[in-house]
Structure formats: structure tokens, C-alpha cells
Amino acid sequence: MRHTLPLAPQFYVTAPQPCPYLAGRMERKLFTALQGEQAHELNDTLSKQGFRRSQNVLYRPSCAECSACLSARIRVADFEPTKSQRRTEKRNAHLMRRTRAPWATEEQYELFRAYLDDRHADGGMADMDVFEFAAMVEETPIRSRVIEYSNVSEDHQHGRELSAVCLTDVLDDGLSMVYSFFDPARRGDSLGTYVILDHIRLAAEAGLPYVYLGYWVPGSPKMAYKARFSPLEVYSGGHWTELADPNAFSADPHPLSTDPIAEQVAQITLPGAAAVPRR
């Protein structure tokens, strides 16, 4: 199925497949190619409308009978860490951050494999080989960075041991955490939380108002941690809303919870275009 907006880009819908977040649900995605001279502007504009990047594709959930997946972002200027998050920062203060161009390494892949085997052995990325990993990191037409966090130790063979990695896009209004992974052996150090906290710090230093976390899904234990970063905003009903009470959002499907695909596409704002008001 294909739907178009005037002057491109073209939007497509994937075939339904089992939802990775909510048991018994089927998911499908609305997506478009990210290419050409306007790739950066398109990524900036659609990210503000709940889209995410995966290599040269922008996508967002477009399930026929469910609208539980909500794009989430942290409002940097108003963020105040909790006591637990401050302890996490202190626990990992020894880590060294290094920002690199989007280039994959064997050390990154080894950490990625250990993370998948421990956390997501039955997930959609479980069979990703080193070439597919390299494509995930390197195939980007926009301003992307690989941010590494290393444990500096004289006992380590190379003087530093990779502990966590995040593939990050730099948007015009924030940092988008495309994919992060970390050493599963350091489970007690809350490395995933620390990487998010450090991205909040990076965004603040750069004067960027948001850190985009991907999708928050009410009712999904995998996504519950995102609601711990306050203030968190979610994209729902065509606008961003502060997540004051996570329990106010339901994962239960409603027959009128989603618009038809053609209407969804018609409501998308493209770079340089005026927003289309929702009816």
C-alpha cells in the first residue's frame, strides 16, 4: 500500500507482524525513505511528529487497532534528577565519554552481541551479524554520532574497556538516542540510565531543548523506565503532552483510536510547509 503527499516524499505501510512490546497485538509501521538534499530537514521535521530513524528510513507506529506506542522526549531545561538518578551518576562518574563519527568497530560489536544475548535473545535484532551492525551505525544521511563510554583501567589490555555505546542523531531541537547498549555484566550500575542522564547533560551544554528517547508504551515493562525521567513529553493526538501521570494513558485498544492511513499521511507536515490542522 502506498500513499503520497504532493512533491514527495512517498509513505508506505509495513505488513502486520507480532508486536514486540504488548503480547497478542499486531504492529505495522508508516515509513518513508530518508535521502536526498533535504534528508536532515526531513528528519528534524518528522521527529517532531513522532517519527524515528532506522538507517535510511523514518518510521512511526501505525497499528490498525492500537495507538499505545507514544514517541517520548525529555524537556531538558526543566529536568531534575531523582535521588536514585543522582546515585547512578555518582556510581558511573569514572566513565570516560568519547564522541566519534558513525563508524562501527569490532569492540562495539562484541559489546552489542553480549547485550543482545543477555537482554534480547529472542528479539528482532538477535541474529544481526557484524555487517548488519555496521550498516545500522554507518548508514546515516544526517548528522549522527557514536558516543562511547569507557572504563579507564591500567589493568585492561588497551587501557580502556568499553562499557556502553549510543548511536545518537543531532536534531535541530535535541539529541535523538537511536539505539544504545551496554555491558550486561554491570547490571547493578544502571548504565542505561546513566547514558540517558549524560545525553541530558550534553543537550543542555549544546543549548538543545530535548532528548528524544524513542517510544514509551503504557503497559510494557520494557518501556517503563522512560517514565522515570521527568518532565517527559509524549506525542499523542498530533501534539506533545507532558506525561504527568503514566496511568492516564491506556494500552487497551479502542476502535476509534487510530485514523485511517490516508488521513495520517495527509496530516503530516513536511519541511517548509504549514501544519495541517486536525479535525
Helix (H) or strand (E) segment spanning residue 12: strand 10-13
- Least trusted range by pLDDT, from 5-9, 107-111, 244-248, 256-260: 5-9
pLDDT for residue 1: 53
Where does residue 68 rank: exposed (0-12), middle (13-18), buried (19+ CB within 10 A)? buried
Considering Cα of 105, then 111, then 115, then 117, what sign does the dihedral take?
positive
| Cβ atoms < 10 Å from Cβ of 264 | 17
Q: Is the pLDDT of residue 257 over 80?
A: no
- Confirm whether pTM is higher than 0.85: yes
Specify the 3-state DSSP secondary structure of 197. helix
Set out the domains of the chain in order of their start, with CATH numbers: 76-211 (3.40.630.30)
Q: Is 239 within 8 Å of 245 (Cβ atoms)?
A: no
* C-alpha cell of residue 111: 559489546
- The model's confidence at residue 3, banded by pLDDT at 50, 70 and 90, is low
